[in-house]
Amino acid sequence: MYNHEIHTPIATKSFLTMGIIALVAVLGYMILRFSPIEKMPPLFAVLCISALYLGIAECILWCVQIFNALDKDMILLCLFPLNWVLIAIRTIKDVVHQQTFKKENVSHKYKHLVILLNNTSNWPWIAFLAAIPLLGILVAVLILFGQEPDSFIKAWTETADWNLSQKVAPQNIYRDEHYLCTVAAGGHPTIVKPMRTGKRHGHRVIVNRQLCIANAFEQLLEERTPNFHRFVRTLYDKTGYPIAKHIQSPYIADAIYFIMKPLEWIFLFFLYMFDAKPENRIAVQYPHSVPPTLNSAFYQQK
């Protein structure tokens, strides 16, 4: 990941599970909201309320996952799920108050169960118990589509940087959006051919040969003609940033990589023309540690 990007609060491999549960919850709400309760089978109504409970659980877990009192954006992202929780509770309350008891003459051995289901005031707690088997049915169906049995749990724990996360993400790679070569190094690997990571301004960056050649040429220019280097550096800083800040896609980065190719060949020509050990200079660009000096043993042994 680059710069200030953050990981998703829900593990991507569990998107299907979370999406289906959300869809079932919305369907349950639509049925309870727009269908006459007196014409609805009691057990079916109970399952609709169970679907609402699953939606409530998903919303609460979302809020727990992302809530950060110091980040106003995270607080705003909690508003919609909290609103859903309130709507679901209001819907369940309206269903219970619409009709408290359905009278039926029953005489068979299951009459107590029938009486229990016909009393709508019992539906909320019955639906709460039924939410677990409903979730089990959904999970069983989702297994056929490649989801794991515990994907509802892993959706929150198989993440990084969030409250319920159990994974530790690697440090983000820094892409300096001021400079074309640095941005171009973030293109598709098969195109830009990254070699390793390195350090730039204290951040990890992706390094490819084009970037190393460009930086080595600038270093050579600074050593041999410091005044001209300052002029070139100032000019590049003024023109490079307005272009580089619009490079937001790997495909555009690939295009910049190809556009910079002729300059790369020119830089390489000057390095081989005026530097006794050009490949050594190229190799030590963007290191993880302090690069060796020109008089160090690294250069002498080469």
pLDDT of 291: 47
**Averaged pLDDT of the chain:** 82
- Estimate to the nearest angstrom the gap between the alpha carbon of 179 and the chain centroid: 26
DSSP secondary structure code for residue 12 in this structure: G
| CA–CA distances in Å: residue 81 to residues 65, 66, 175, 270, 280 | 12, 12, 34, 60, 57
Asked whether the predicted pLDDT for residue 301 surpasses 50, the reply is: no
User: Which pLDDT band holds residue 42 (cuts at 50, 70, 90)?
Assistant: confident
The whole-number pLDDT of residue 19 equals 95
64-76: average pLDDT: 81
pLDDT at 188: 84
CA geometry: angle at 133 spanning 141 and 26, to 5°? 70
Mean pLDDT across 99-121: 64
Q: State the pLDDT at residue 142.
A: 93
Find, among 179, 167, 241, the residue nearest to 205 by Cα: 179
Q: What is the pLDDT of residues 234-272, one digit of tens each?
A: 877 777 666 666 666 788 888 888 888 898 899 999 999
Cα–Cα separations (whole angstroms), residue 70 to 30, 76, 233, 245 = 36, 12, 39, 28
Structure token pair of residue 11: 């593990």
213: phi then psi, degrees, rounded to nearest 5: -65, -45
Could you tell me how many helices (H) and strands (E) the chain has, helices first? Answer: 15, 2
Alpha-carbon torsion (250, 251, 256, 257), positive or negative: positive
Count CA atoms closer than 13 A to 235's CA, side-chain side: 6
Nearest to 257 by CA among 208, 175, 192, 174: 192
Q: Which pLDDT value is given to residue 204? A: 73
Percentage of the residues of the chain whose pLDDT score is greater than 70: 78
The whole-number pLDDT of residue 43 equals 87
- Once rounded to an integer, what is the mean pLDDT over residues 155-161? 90
pLDDT category of residue 62 using cuts at 50, 70 and 90 = very high
**pLDDT tens for each residue of 129-141:** 999 999 999 999 9
Q: Is the pLDDT of residue 84 over 90?
A: yes
What is the percent of the chain where pLDDT is above 90?
Answer: 31
The Cβ of residue 222 has, within 10 Å, a number of other Cβ atoms equal to 14
Cα distance between residue 179 and residue 175, in whole Å:
9
Tokens 């569990």 correspond to 14
- Is residue 206 within 8 A of residue 175, CB to CB? The reply is yes
